Amino acid sequence: MEDLKISIRSIIVYELIMIIGSMIMSSFDITSDNKLAQLIGNSIIQLISSGYIVYIIKKFYKLENIGFSKIKKDKLVWFIPYIFILISMLYKFIEGIYKNISYFN
């Protein structure tokens, strides 16, 4: 029952952080022309919300209880293809931003 209370309280606080952050962002009167400011504002709100969730997990649970365990070095070979995929995705993302940087101003 205690886990249920922690979960419900965490969801409520997470949603409140998102709502308050959205209200603060809308009060700055950011026009739709300034996409970079919107992106930065939304990223800050997401980082605060995610930080809260990480705090709750570390405070009330062990990482082993939510699916994480110690890293076994001999099993990391299966992670190499994911690294190549992530690097190529990151490259395309940065390339797209670099090509369209003029639209952010």
Listed residue (42, 66, 43) closest to 54, CA to CA: 66
Domain spans of the chain, in order of start: 1-69, 71-105
- Mean per-residue pLDDT pooled into runs of 10, the chain (105 residues): 80 87 76 71 86 84 72 78 91 86 71
Which secondary-structure segment (H or E) carries 73? none
pLDDT at 25: 78
pLDDT at 6: 81
pLDDT at 71: 73
